[in-house]
Structure 1
Amino acid sequence: MLDVFSHRIIVCSLCRDTVTGRRSGGDLCADLRSRLAETLASSFAVETIDCMAGCARPLTVAFNAEGKASYLFGSIDSGTDAGALVEFARLYASLADGWCNSGQRPARLAGKILARIPAAGKAREQVR
């Protein structure tokens, strides 16, 4: 049976902690799966990938879904940021187009956003 999830959280498996040098992506995935199990497990696939080119700001974590803006976060601490990532997952799942501003995201993730990428075909008009 094929599992179909509407949202994905992708964690870099090769990022090394800048202090310990330890690769903690796998541990973060396990923690996120556990935390999402109670409320969002059927909506989110949590998976690893070997690299997201965020090497200057390890650990990198991405959120994406069909028809929604995607987000890439960096400088994630697997020990202290998991709760904020789950909080963002709840917000992200609730947004029809995935678009949110910095004031809506968890404070713990402030300064950790590397990119917000509009969904394909959904670029917004530039506000001048």
Structure 2
Amino acid sequence: MDKAKEQTHRITVCTSCRHVGAPCRPGLDLLKHLQAAIAEAGAALSDDFSLEGSVCMAGCERPCTVAFQASAKATYLFGDIADEADIGALVSFAELYRDRPDGLTREGERPKMLGGKTLARIPAAIVSAERHATLLQ
């Protein structure tokens, strides 16, 4: 990756997720497998995304949770992510998300394996000095 180029998108995986009633923490494994899959998808994708772990993303009833974020784009939170079964769908969604200027996708456009797994779509928080000045008038 060119050091001067900043990654503009972020994928965050909950690392404290537990499957209900099970002692394992699959979030760390999911993060490792997703990092490998993004890297395998090629520089075009891995250069645009940073991947991070986070402690508790409040999706405890539907682990594992994964968030997609970027400036001026909607944020997505997915839950019930199965490590190996959903990796390809997460990579496909990353490509779709990266290519959308506002990040918005409809359920039918997302990979089928992510169907019913969207916990939240949060609108982009865009604050500009010009818009703020207009609101104050």
Counting only pairs closer than 5 Å after superposition, residues 1-128 of structure 1 correspond to structure 2 as 4-18=6-20, 20-37=22-39, 38-39=41-42, 40-121=45-126
Mapped contact 2:73–2:104 kept (Cα < 8 A): yes
Q: CA deviation at 1:20?
A: 3.7
Mapped contact 2:77–2:120 kept (Cα < 8 A): yes
Report the Cα distance in structure 2 between the residues aligned to 1:42 and 1:20, rounded to whole angstroms. Answer: 35
Give the 3-state SS of the residue equivalent to 2:31 in structure 1: helix
Q: Look at both structures and tell me which one has the larger radius of gyration over its CA atoms.
A: 2
Q: CA deviation at 1:121?
A: 3.3
- Cα distance change of structure 1 residues 59 and 2 upon mapping to structure 2, 3 Å threshold: farther
Q: Deviations over 1:48-89 (max 9, x none)?
A: 000111111111100000000000001111121111101100
Q: Which amino acid aligns with 1:9?
A: I
Unaligned ranges ≥5, structure 2? 128-137
Q: CA deviation at 1:19?
A: 6.0
Report the Cα distance in structure 1 between the residues aligned to 2:14 and 2:33, rounded to whole angstroms. Answer: 14
Report the Cα distance in structure 2 between the residues aligned to 1:65 and 1:6, rounded to whole angstroms. Answer: 6
- The number of aligned residues is 122
Identity %: 48
Q: CA deviation at 1:3?
A: 7.5
Give the alignment's TM-score, normalised by structure 2: 0.83
Give the alignment's TM-score, normalised by structure 1: 0.88
State the 4+ residue runs in structure 1 displaced beyond 4 angstroms: none
